[in-house]
A and B are shown apart, each in its own frame.
Chain A
Amino acid sequence: MPQTFHRSTNTLSKVSIFGALFLVVGSLFAIAEINRSGYVTQAGVAREQPVPFSHQHHVGGMGVDCRYCHTTVETSATAGIPPTKTCMNCHSQIWNQSPTLEPVRASFRSGQSIEWTRVHDLPDFAYFNHSAHVSKGVGCTTCHGPVDRMPLMWQYSSLQMEWCLDCHRAPEKYVRPKEEVFSVAWQPPPDQIEQGRALVKAYGIQTRTSCSACHR
């Protein structure tokens, strides 16, 4: 009796089995990659703002320190978005007729806040604290990227949990000397890992990966 299936069906079945596996794995990989992409995380997407504030100009061009506006970054969970008053400290003197800055002046006159669009938005169940990171040698640009080259602010990192854990599991990859925390020009040295390990020890950095470190 001849075989029911031709020999070529062996190949066909192998191909379809491995093909199906490949398809499943491939689509899972694709989903994971889409989930990591800027499409989902919004990383790399510059946001429209009521006033086109340029970090490139103020930080890169004028050399304004981060803490001039983000005053509570060393003391509080939030870095702080500057009040209108901070803008007006300078802009009551310079560019005080600029039509671009009219929303700022209007806010100052009326007492109505400027409503900025949030760029870095963690989910509400994640409790991030700026001061804890800044005081342990995590630089602004480590997470926020080259702010001095961003005309409109955009999110540099994915802000996903795997990105948090990357550093929380191995902080030596990213920490820098405390005096360099607010520097936008700092670049990791070639021996970052060794230097990082020394800093982790010196600063008493805990590699905290317990859930309650961030989720409460």
Chain B
Amino acid sequence: MSEVPAVRVDLSGVRRRLDGAQGRTYWKSLEELAGTPEFLDFLHREFPSQASEFADPKGRREFLTLMGASLALAGLTACTKQPEEKIVPYVQPPEQAVPGKPLFFATAMLDRGYAKGILVESHLGRPTKIEGNPDHPASLGATDISGQAWVLGLYDPDRAQTLTYRGEIRAWTDFMGALRNALGAQKPRQGVGVRILTEAVTSPTLAAQVREVLAELPAAKWHQWEPMGGASMAARPAVGRPASVQYHFDRADVILSLEADFVVDGPASLRYAREYTARRKRPGAQAMNRLYAVESTPTLTGAIADHRLPLRPSEMEGFARAVAGAVGGGAAAPAPSGATGEWLAAVARDLKAHAGRSLVIAGDYQSPAVHGLAHEINQFLGNVGQTVVYGAPVEAQPVDPLASLAELAADMKAGRVDVLVVLGANPVYSAPADLDFAAAMERVKLRVHLGLYADETAALSHWHIPQAHPLEAWSDARAYDGTTTILQPLIAPLYDSARSAHELLAALTSKPDRKGHDIVKDFWRAQFGGDFDARWRRSLHDGVVAGWTAPAGVAAPSASGDPTTAPRPTAPASSAPGTLEIVFRPDPTIGDGRYANLGWLQELPKPITKLTWDNAALVSPATAQRLSLENGEVVELRYRGRTVKAPVWTLPGQPDDTVTVHLGYGRTRAGRVGDGAGFDANRIRTSDAPWNGTGLEIAKTGETRALACAQDHWSIDENAEPRHLIRSVTVDEYVKEPEAIKEQAENPPRDMTLYPNVKYAGHAWGMSIDLNSCVGCSACVVACVAENNIPVVGREQVAKGREMHWIRVDRYFSGAPQHSETIRAHFQPLPCMQCENAPCEQVCPVAATVHSDEGLNDQVYNRCIGTRYCSNNCPYKVRRFNFLLYQDWNTPTLKLQRNPDVSVRSRGVMEKCTYCVQRIEQARITAHNEGRPIRDGEIQTACQSVCPTQAIVFGDVNDPGSAVSKLKAEHRDYALLGELNTRPRTTYLAEVKNPNPELAGPAAGGGEHHG
């Protein structure tokens, strides 16, 4: 797509609209507030730039040629006979394999080395879909976005497929010969030149193997590099040594997050999100918790908090110190003055009032000092042992990953490394720039890289060995609390030369050529002792190893770890206003870049910015105005003598004078999907301040980059009148006036309609979405993509508003854009509403969208001729049209991922959510075959089953005892655009905040902005 001019947002216009009678409480973008032509275009044209295909002369010629041909053949297509098909049965059927019935196997996905339990759906040996493992403590039946995309990673056609030496294909035996030679030379020298670089290791088997290598080569060294890791080290200031920290949000009444994005980020996020929202499910009827979030870049935790305070990163430690002073633990520190000071005092009083039932949690990207202070506050409030529990570290050998990598880089530069074996990591891309890892690699005589992709590190290695995907290989891993899972393969490796880390490590020992299965099984044979087979089978079946659930020994905070006595670094002086600070964070969807080639995650709008396919330099509206920056304008970021070019994106809620850049983009050897997307923020990142720093300069370049942002897509028109799409009240207001939520908009009587009043005698499917539980993580979107064979359309098509997601998560802001502390975000997942009076059905000329007897709004693909009238008439804008042939019909591996129970749609067909009707029908058939009715909860839609917070509940609204009926009976249930009397089957539960009554000022956010 050609570069388009950057969007200029007139902030004074924004202010006028906010102040005036037209002022909007909830808005999706600054463009909406300013009423820019671009926004109005998205709003009023159901199909933005539908004719743009013809603007391109080549496309137009092609179109005419095709049209000529298709006119000649029109009408004849229906006369073809079906081509003959073959049936290929088994020769010897494997046990339990029933064609047409999927099997589920328990294993785990890895998040920075930690396990999150999953169940993998397998259709005759093809893994197709990931579900959470309800028996696993880090999953509780849910998965995150990368868990859902895990299966796409297996089938990614750009995965490394062959073993190569300097880019040329070689055999495993050639590699073994080279390796044995090099190791043979090292053996007399105790392996002093040998380095093994792994990612964070929780796998007991892998750790034992590394130790085995180190026993044979005592002078060799083991390094670990995990770009987003180091959580075990975070507790070091508290405990005095590496430790695991577990939080119990179910026991916490008051929570202060120091930029801990605990609801989506981290190995325990699924559990924490569940525990946190469980305390907010029945406002009024249960004691709600209260969350204060302090953050230097908008996070989802901050977005859902009751109170949010944006701070520049340099102010974070001072803030934590002041809180510690205010609650009375440790030396008093000067409290900030003004509004922040009042905010802080109120938080401190609230924390003190809930001593023992409060929780202060510091984020993974905070300094050790902040972690120490968080611990100090918890210690003083008596939270340790209650809401915070320290345990032995889960990682086999916890290290500070950055220090470990820096040591390795220094050794390599000094020429002390002869053999480097990299297992999985990609340090050439992900290491901070000052380590100059690429140059250091050049000095190593033998460089071996095992990786899923022939990535940046592979390019600089002599030998590259394709790694077996975790769904193809045996392994094991432990969860945040020490629960151990044995990872079992779902499928034989797709590529013959693929090896697992276990198999490559075995090659370094005196017992090479052992299979991964034998290595893992032998390890556990030694652990289990008697009755091995039964325990092994039980462990594989359950997805957890019984008896290995808790970390060995729980460490109490040691005296030396007491930060009140420990020497404390002085707080860095907050930088003067006007100087820019930079914040580095992993990307919300593709993480540290390892998922850069997964189209599902690239196309998933990032939960807060709603950008797709790109990262950007995020600045606050006020800073953008001060520096006269525009969205999409490419600037040069100059930081510590290094530069990188980045497009600007204005993000309400971002602290002023603070620029956030996300890592993971700017990959050069990620694959066809990931290459060329975004810019590489690692190029200005240094190892002494990996997550934030001061002294950033911004220089204009005059270039622009059109960013594909989905925030204005599928907007519902509120210009004529407010539609009350988001409804948010405080708990006090809710208790006082529970009916007020429903009464925000008109509720016409059911019979005030020209539609026939249909009675649904049998089941009547419905859905309830709890906006108070939704944390905006967007796992539902990826789950829907995986379940329903939804294609990836690419960056240019997203920019035109043609993304195909059947469920979208609308993100609304409230507050004043110039005052970032007033900004709050609200999330609204929006699938098809399954209207009883569906406007789409009346306008279809070919009856391709019709109502089912159970109230589903069916879409019949084989009837659809693509008039798109239905989508024009849909007030919720939930219908998606295949403008082009988005689905990949050719790549063999991608075909393996498809759900066989859902049609694969072609070009020219409208598609939409049908409440996962394939799951409804499967449950119905199973129930009827067993001669019983369908049980409540038996049908789980894909978005429902993945949801970490159980915000989505589906069921039979004709059954008054069903979970969904009970939720719909709540006072905070409301229908979106209910005043149109479309009678949507999907309804929402309004957001109920629990603000501190002391904080009624503008910094309080939440309730005071609703109207």
Chain A residues in contact with chain B, CB under 8 A?
40, 42, 72, 74-78, 80-85, 107-108, 111-118, 121, 123-125, 127, 129, 131-132, 135-136, 204, 206, 208-213, 215-216
Contacts and interface: CB of A to CB of B under 8 A. Distances in A.
B89 interface: yes
A37 to B, nearest CB: 11
Contacts of B887: none
B699 interface: no
B81, B84, B861, B902 — which one has the most chain A CB atoms within 10 A of its CB?
B84
Contact of B858 (A78, A127, A212): A212
Nearest first, the 5 A-B pairs at minimum CB distance are A210-B852, A77-B100, A76-B100, A83-B90, A118-B85
Contacts of B79: 40
26 contacts: A42-B82, A72-B98, A76-B99, A76-B100, A80-B89, A80-B99, A83-B89, A83-B92, A84-B92, A85-B93, A108-B91, A113-B89, A114-B88, A116-B86, A116-B88, A118-B87, A204-B928, A208-B853, A211-B850, A211-B852, A212-B852, A212-B914, A215-B862, A215-B903, A216-B914, A216-B921
Nearest to B847: A211
B925 A216 contact: no
Contacts of A108: 91
B87, B88, B902 — which one has the most chain A CB atoms within 10 A of its CB?
B87
B84 to A, nearest CB: 6
A197 to B, nearest CB: 19
A125 B84 CA distance: 16
B928 A211 contact: no
B245 to A, nearest CB: 45
A210 B862 CA distance: 14
Interface residues of B, number: 40
Main secondary structure of the interface of A (DSSP, over half): loop
A124 B87 CA distance: 14
Contacts of B643: none
A108 B860 CA distance: 43
Contacts of B928: 132, 135-136, 204
Given A76-B98, A83-B92, A124 B929 contact: no
B433 interface: no
A83 B762 contact: no
Nearest to B930: A135
A112 B91 contact: yes
Contact of A83 (B93, B101, B852, B929): B93
Contact of B87 (A42, A116, A125): A116
A33 to B, nearest CB: 13
B977 interface: no
Contacts of A82: 89
B854 interface: yes
B857 to A, nearest CB: 9
A208 B858 CA distance: 14
A192 B917 CA distance: 33
B293 interface: no
B86 A129 contact: no
A125 B861 contact: yes
Contacts of A212: 852, 856, 858, 914, 917, 920-921
Given A114-B89, A213-B852, 16 more contacts: A42-B82, A72-B100, A76-B100, A76-B101, A84-B91, A115-B88, A117-B86, A127-B918, A132-B928, A204-B928, A210-B858, A211-B858, A212-B914, A215-B861, A216-B918, A216-B921
B901 interface: yes
B640 to A, nearest CB: 56
Given A81-B87, A127-B921, A136-B928, A216 B902 contact: yes
Contacts of A132: 925, 928-929
Contacts of A209: 853
Interface of B: 79, 81-82, 84-93, 98-101, 762, 850-854, 856, 858, 860-862, 901-904, 914, 917-918, 920-921, 925, 928-929
Contacts of B90: 83-85, 113
Contacts of A118: 84-87
A51 to B, nearest CB: 12
A215 B860 CA distance: 7
B81, B861, B917 — which one has the most chain A CB atoms within 10 A of its CB?
B917
A213 B91 contact: no
A145 B90 CA distance: 26
B85 A121 contact: yes
A82 B93 CA distance: 9
Nearest to B920: A212
A116 B91 CA distance: 13
Contacts of A107: 91
B99 A127 contact: no
B933 to A, nearest CB: 9
B81 A42 contact: yes
B99 A211 contact: no
Nearest to B919: A216
Contacts of B925: 129, 131-132
A75 B89 contact: no
A118 B81 CA distance: 14
Contacts of B851: 210
A210 B89 contact: no
Contacts of B929: 74-75, 131-132, 135
Nearest to A115: B86
A123 B91 contact: no
A82, A83, A118, A212 — which one has the most chain B CB atoms within 10 A of its CB?
A212
Contacts of A116: 86-89
Nearest to A122: B82
A40, A112, A204, A213 — which one has the most chain B CB atoms within 10 A of its CB?
A213
Contacts of B917: 212, 216
Contact of A111 (B87, B91, B861, B921): B91
